């Protein structure tokens, strides 16, 4: 349902991670991206991430999960494609 960046300490940008909402128990968890996760799927999730509804966003915040938004586009592209362009 969204994307986040792993905590790597102050001022260091961590690895791109998936925010997962369990459809069975409604629990929010963080998962690593697999190497073969398709870039276009990740980009779709990035859109969901930016459009996440406020109640889910609040729950992420309470769990100390940063939700990626449009301002993180450059970092997203850097991690997916290895450059800002």
Residues within the interface to Zn ion (CB under 5 A): 22, 24-25, 27
For the packed helices 39-50 and 73-81, what is the interaxial angle rounded to 10 degrees?
170
Tell the smallest beta-carbon distance from residue 28 to Zn ion (Å): 10
Tell the smallest beta-carbon distance from residue 30 to Zn ion (Å): 14
In this complex, which beta carbon is closest to Zn ion, that of residue 13 or of residue 29? 29
Of all residues in the shown chain, the one whose CB is closest to Zn ion is: 22
In this complex, which beta carbon is closest to Zn ion, that of residue 22 or of residue 38? 22
In this complex, which beta carbon is closest to Zn ion, that of residue 27 or of residue 58? 27
DSSP string across the chain: -EEEEEE-STT-EEEEEEEEE-TTT--EEEEEPPTTS-HHHHHHHHHHHHT--HHHHHHHHHTTPPPP-GGGHHHHHHHHHSS--
Tell the smallest beta-carbon distance from residue 9 to Zn ion (Å): 30
């Amino acid at each position: 349902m969204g994307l986040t960046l792993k905590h790597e300490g102050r001022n260091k940008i961590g690895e791109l991670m998936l925010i997962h909402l369990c459809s069975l128990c409604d629990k929010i968890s963080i998962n690593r991206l697999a190497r073969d996760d398709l870039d276009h799927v990740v980009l779709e999730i990035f859109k969901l991430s930016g459009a996440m509804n406020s109640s889910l966003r609040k729950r992420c915040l309470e769990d100390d999960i940063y939700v990626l938004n449009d301002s993180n586009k450059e970092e997203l592209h850097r991690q997916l494609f290895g450059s800002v362009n």
